[in-house]
Amino acid sequence: MELFGNANDFLIWVRGDAFSIALGVFVVGVLIRLLEIILLGRKVDYSEARGTEWGPGLKNIITRSKVDNGTFKRAPFVVVVGYIWHIGFFIVLLLFVPHIELINATLGLKWPGLTTPLVDAAAAVTMFAMVVMLWHRLTHPVMKFLSTYEDYLVWLLTFLPLLTGYIAFHRMIAPYPLALGVHILSVELLLVVFPFTKLMHAITLFMARWYTGAIMGRKGIKS
């Protein structure tokens, strides 16, 4: 490593300057994207409302997580594997003790974590589910047809933090500071790309669900 005298220097850089840059791009990027959406506004609706907007909008944010029975029967694979990897991803991200410590150091928020063997298992399951999902994307006629380079890029950028974290945790690459540095760098890549890709759905889906729930609520449709 020419740029960094040794692995420790590299780790210091990714933890310091690189982290600040990535976080800055993420925060500013997300804010721009959100403003881009919100500032478009909605036209005034002159039709006589039959129901309210806020309540049904908020309710839809929760209820849309459940797929209707008919669709589940028609596409159980996407639904089940989709749930598994999303839940697994959040277990690893939010319940791994070193992650909680980092969040505590950055934001001052703290909560109890899971024991490491459980998080380790969740990481393995998540990676497996993601690979299965990628295979599905490459072979299912609809997903294959819809997918663009961005879908595969986003898959890779989401997969890398899991993989590099797993490698670092199991000391599969030496020296450890290098393995950890690569892991953090992969997360920073994810943060930087997040606002400019469909990774944004993690935030905008709350808006999308709210808008649809509100539109339906106003008309008295059970969403």
What residue ranges bind another protein (CB under 8 A)?
32-33, 36-48, 50-51, 60-61, 64-65, 67-68, 70-71, 74-75, 78-79, 82, 137, 140-148, 151, 196, 198, 200-201, 204-205, 207-213, 215-216, 219-223
Q: What are φ and ψ of residue 169, in 5° steps? A: -60, -40
Q: Closer CB to another protein, residue 173 or residue 212? A: 212
Shortest Å distance, C-beta 127 to another protein: 19
Shortest Å distance, C-beta 107 to another protein: 25
What DSSP state is assigned to residue 65?
A: T
What DSSP state is assigned to residue 199?
A: G
20 by Cβ neighbours in 10 Å (0-12 / 13-18 / 19+) ranks as: exposed
Q: Closer CB to another protein, residue 67 or residue 114? A: 67
Distance CA 89, CA 12 (A): 26
* 177 touches 7 (CB < 8 A): yes
Shortest Å distance, C-beta 190 to another protein: 15
Q: Closer CB to another protein, residue 51 or residue 175? A: 51
* 166 touches 124 (CB < 8 A): yes
Distance CA 124, CA 119 (A): 9
Shortest Å distance, C-beta 164 to another protein: 23
Shortest Å distance, C-beta 215 to another protein: 6
Q: Closer CB to another protein, residue 13 or residue 211? A: 211
